[in-house]
Amino acid sequence: MVDEHAVSGRSIGLGAVGAAGAVGTAAAAGAAMPAAAQLPAPAAAGVAGSACTGAAPTSAAAPGLAALFSPGGFARAAITDRLNCARPLPDQVARLAGKIDALILREKDLAPDAYERLARDVRAACERAGVAFIAHTFAEPARRAGARALHLPLPILERTDRPAGFELVGTNVHELDEIARAEALGADYLIASPVFAPSCKPLPGRGLDFLNAVIAQAHVPVLALGGITDATERQVRQTKAAGACRMSDYMRL
C-alpha cells in the first residue's frame, strides 16, 4: 500500500471542485496558504482511479488543483494498482468519473519511460473525466508527461528535496515525528497511513487517534489512507481530515 493524510493550519486552493463533490478540508482556520496554492488552476490536472460505474465522463476539463483542499470539503482520491485493476487504467478513470476528485498514479515498478507513457494516457483520461491527476515517485517522467502535481514518498522527498515545476507536492507520514520533516521539505499535503488495517498488506491500522494527532500537528491538509471503505470513510469524515484515499476499493470495482 502507498504511504499517504489530514489538515491543520494551511489550506490549499486549486481551482474547481472535482466531480465527486467536496474536496479537502483545511483543518486550521485562518492559516496562510502556501505559494503553490495561489497559482492559477491548471488547465489539465487529471487523476486515474478505478470505480466501475460504467458511466462515461461528463466533464470536459479536470478541476483545478487548488479546489482539492478547499475549506469544508472532503477529497476522495484513488491510488492506482494496475496489476490488480479490472481493466486498463484509462478505462477505469472513465468509470470513476463522478466518484473521485483526484487520482494518484502509483506504479512504482515501471521503468521511467514506461511510466511516462502511462502517465500521458492516464492524465488525458483524467482530464476527460474531470479528475485531478497526481503523479507518483517519478518526477522527471511526470514533468514530461505534463503532470502539475506529484506525490513523493517521504524518503525520496528527503533525498531529493521538493522538485521544481510542480504546483502541488505531497508525501506520506506513518509517524508523528515525520510531520515537521515533511512540512520543512515543502509538502503541500500529507497522507497519514495506515489509519485502518489495509487489505493489501498485513499491517494493523493506527486508528482515528493517530489520524487526529496528525491533523492536530500538521499545518497542511491531511488525507487518510489504509482500509478506507464506505463505512470507514464515514468515520474519517467525522474528523478534520481533508479527504481519504483508496486503492483496492477503487481498483476492484
> Is residue 83, in this structure, part of any structural domain at all?
yes
Question: What pLDDT digit, counting tens, does each position of 8-44 carry?
Answer: 333 344 333 344 543 333 333 333 333 333 222 333 3
Report the number of distinct structural domains present in the chain.
1
Task: DSSP letter for 26, please.
Answer: -
> Is residue 26, in this structure, part of any structural domain at all?
no
Residue of higher predicted confidence among 38 and 147: 147
> Is residue 1, in this structure, part of any structural domain at all?
no
What residues contact residue 108 under an 8 Å CB cut-off, 6+ apart? 136, 137
70: containing domain: 35-252
pTM: 0.77
Q: Which of 70-74, 75-79, 115-119 has the lowest mean pLDDT?
A: 70-74
- Angle subtended at Cα 188 by Cα 3 and Cα 182, rounded to the nearest 5 degrees: 55
> Is residue 168, in this structure, part of any structural domain at all?
yes
Say if CB 77 and CB 245 are below 8 A apart.
yes
Per-residue confidence band for 81, with pLDDT thresholds at 50, 70 and 90: very high
Q: Is the pLDDT of residue 119 over 80?
A: yes
Residue of higher predicted confidence among 1 and 244: 244
* Mean pLDDT over the full length of the chain: 81
Say if CB 31 and CB 219 are below 8 A apart.
yes
CATH of the domain at 67: 3.20.20.70
Per-residue model confidence (pLDDT) at position 63: 59
φ, ψ for residue 101, nearest 5 deg: -105, -25
Per-residue model confidence (pLDDT) at position 30: 33
Angstrom distance (rounded) from CA 78 to CA 47? 8
> Is residue 200, in this structure, part of any structural domain at all?
yes
Q: Is the pLDDT of residue 140 over 60?
A: yes
Per-residue model confidence (pLDDT) at position 70: 87
Question: What pLDDT digit, counting tens, does each position of 93-109 carry?
Answer: 999 999 999 999 999 99
Q: Is the pLDDT of residue 162 over 80?
A: yes
Angstrom distance (rounded) from CA 9 to CA 12? 10
| pLDDT-above-90 percentage for the chain | 68
Per-residue model confidence (pLDDT) at position 17: 35
> Is residue 127, in this structure, part of any structural domain at all?
yes
> Is residue 138, in this structure, part of any structural domain at all?
yes
> Is residue 65, in this structure, part of any structural domain at all?
yes
